[in-house]
C-alpha cells in the first residue's frame, strides 16, 4: 500500500484529511531579506489555526539549505495534531552562495537519498519529497542538474518530486525532462504555482500527462485573480 512519509512516520494517504499541499512553516533565503520564516511560535500558531479550520496535513516545500528547522517539525506536528511532510531538494541557484553549490557538486543525488532514507542532518527527520525548481519559461543548467539528481533519488527511493514553476511557467518542459528523458512516472510529479500562469491549454496538457497540478496560493496583484482560477 502506498504511504505518505510525514515527520512522525508513514501514514496512509487517506489519513491526511484536508491537505495544504504546498506551504512553508520555516524558510530563509539571502534573496529575500526580511522575509524569513524562523519563529517556532508563529509556526505553531499557524498550524493550530489551520487545525481549527479543519486542516489535517501541511506539506512544507522548504528544501536543503533554506532554514527548514527539521528538528522543530515533529514536536509541532504532535502539539497541533497536524501531519507535516518535510522536503529535501534544492531551489534555484539564486537562493544559495557559490560555496554551498560547489560543495554539492558530484553528490547531490546522494544528499537527497540520504535525507529521504536516513534523515535530515542530526534531526533524523526523514524527508517525504524532493523539491526542485525551474526558471522563467526555461530550464537552465542548474535546473537540469537538480532535476536529474531528483530523478535519481526518485528511482532509488520512490519519493515524489515537487517542482516550483517560476511564475507558473515551464510546466511542459519540466515534464519532458523529468518524465521523458529521466523516466520519472508522471503520477510521482507535482507541478507547483500553476495558478500564477493561467494558461488553460498548458494546464490541460499537463493534466493529461498524469501528473498532479497544484494551484497553491492566493493571487498576487499582478497575477490572475482568484475568481478566475477555478
Per-residue pLDDT tens for 143-202?
A: 999 999 999 999 999 999 999 999 999 999 999 999 999 999 999 999 999 988 888 899
Distances (CA, A) of 174 to 39, 40, 143, 147: 33, 34, 9, 9
**Residue-wise over 87-105: b if at least 16 C-beta within 10 A, else e?**
bbbbbbbebbeeeebeebe
pLDDT higher at 167 or 59: 59
* Percentage of residues in the chain having pLDDT higher than 70: 97
Rounded Cα distance between 173 and 135, Å, is 10
Top-level CATH class of 4-228? Answer: alpha beta
Q: What is the pLDDT of residues 202-216, one digit of tens each?
A: 999 999 999 999 998
Whole-prediction pTM: 0.94
Contact yes or no for 171/139 (Cβ under 8 A): no
> What's the grid cell of residue 27?
524558510
Rounded Cα distance between 142 and 167, Å, is 17
pLDDT at site 10: 97
pLDDT at site 230: 67
Rounded Cα distance between 55 and 17, Å, is 7
pLDDT tier, 117 (very low <50, low <70, confident <90, very high otherwise):
very high
pLDDT at site 229: 67
- What is the DSSP annotation of 101-143? HHHHTTTHHHHHHHHHHT-SGGG-PPPSEEEEE-BTTB--HHH
Phi and psi dihedrals of 114, rounded to 5?
A: -65, -40
Rounded Cα distance between 73 and 54, Å, is 19
Question: Does 1 have pLDDT greater than 80?
Answer: no
pLDDT at site 72: 98
Rounded Cα distance between 49 and 15, Å, is 19
Q: What is the pLDDT of residues 65-105, one digit of tens each?
A: 999 999 999 999 999 999 999 999 999 999 999 999 999 99
pLDDT at site 198: 84
Radius of gyration, CA atoms only, the chain: 17
pLDDT at site 70: 97
Q: What is the pLDDT of residues 18-28, one digit of tens each?
A: 999 999 999 99
Other CB atoms within 10 A of residue 41 CB: 7
Please, how many CA atoms are within 13 Å of residue 17, restricted to the half-sphere of its CB? 13
Amino acid at each position: 500500500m502506498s504511504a505518505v512519509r510525514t515527520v512522525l512516520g508513514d501514514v496512509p494517504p487517506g489519513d491526511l484529511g484536508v491537505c495544504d499541499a504546498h506551504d512553508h512553516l520555516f524558510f530563509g533565503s539571502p534573496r529575500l531579506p526580511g522575509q524569513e520564516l524562523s519563529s517556532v511560535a508563529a509556526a505553531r500558531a499557524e498550524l493550530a489555526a489551520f487545525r481549527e479550520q479543519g486542516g489535517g496535513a501541511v506539506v512544507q516545500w522548504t528544501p536543503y539549505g533554506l532554514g527548514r528547522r527539521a528538528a522543530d517539525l515533529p514536536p509541532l506536528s504532535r502539539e497541533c495534531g497536524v501531519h507535516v511532510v518535510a522536503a529535501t531538494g534544492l531551489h534555484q541557484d539564486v537562493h544559495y552562495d557559490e560555496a554551498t553549490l560547489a560543495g554539492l557538486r558530484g553528490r547531490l543525488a546522494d544528499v537527497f537519498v540520504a535525507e529521504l532514507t536516513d534523515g535530515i542532518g542530526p534531526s533524523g527527520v526523514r524527508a517525504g519529497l524532493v523539491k526542485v525548481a525551474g526558471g522563467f519559461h526555461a530550464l537552465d543548467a542548474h535546473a537540469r542538474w537538480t532535476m536529474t539528481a531528483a530523478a535519481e533519488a526518485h528511482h532509488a527511493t520512490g519519493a515524489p518530486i515537487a517542482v516550483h514553476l517560476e511564475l507558473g511557467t515551464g510546466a511542459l518542459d519540466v515534464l519532458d525532462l523529468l518524465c521523458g528523458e529521466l523516466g520519472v512516472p508522471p503520477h510521482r510529479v507535482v507541478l507547483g504555482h500553476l495558478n500564477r500562469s493561467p494558461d488553460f491549454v498548458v494546464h490541460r496538457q499537463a493534466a493529461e500527462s498524469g501528473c498532479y497540478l497544484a494551484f497553491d496560493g492566493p493571487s498576487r496583484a499582478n497575477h490572475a485573480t482568484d475568481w478566475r482560477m477555478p
